Amino acid sequence: MNKLICKIFILIFIASCSGINEERTTGTFIEDFSIERKIKKFINKDYELDALTNVKATSYNEVLLLTGQIPNERLRREIINGAKKITKIKKIHDFTILAAPSSMISRSNDKYLTTKVRTRILATAIFKKEKNVKSNRIKVVTDNSTVFLLGIVNRGQAEVATKIARETSGVQKVVTLWEIK
């Protein structure tokens, strides 16, 4: 319990420090963390879901993105139905695929691609002085070399970030789930 309390205080601190350029409120920032944690807990509690699936839940502005691999439709429905029971979720984007869980090598490559895309977006904002890019408003998730972009951005920010992701070597596909303001 103490670890959870520490994590919540750290999240509040981070959210309040980054609130200057963050479109989400501190409450929404914490709710996103809570949604992700609830999905993970739901999956971990069920032996079959935990052992047979590789599902990642990402929440941004209370919009849930599910990615990963699930071996059959029954387990997929179980995860979706579990997610629907979580309050505060405005919308669920299900990009899971029916397949065996990906390998550790594939997951490592996905983490590398996420870092690469994030770094290129940040570098564009800093070094090219692209005032239209706010890297802290953009969430990057990668699964099976497909990059998902989430965030509350304007059209110009969305176009620049999407272009950067598409031009990043190793990225097979880019899926944009922007909230355009």
Q: Quick check: 139 pLDDT over 70? A: yes
Q: What is the pLDDT of residue 15?
A: 47
**CA pair distance 139, 18, nearest whole angstrom:** 14
Averaged pLDDT, 34-47: 97
Q: What is the pLDDT of residue 4?
A: 58
Whether 33 contacts 4, CB under 8 Å: no
Confidence of residue 181 (pLDDT cuts 50, 70, 90): confident
Averaged pLDDT, 129-149: 87
pTM (global) more than 0.75: yes
Distance of CA 48 to the CA centre of its chain: 24
Question: By three-state DSSP, how is residue 1 classified?
Answer: coil
**CA pair distance 165, 173, nearest whole angstrom:** 9
- pLDDT tens digits for 104-113? 999 999 999 9
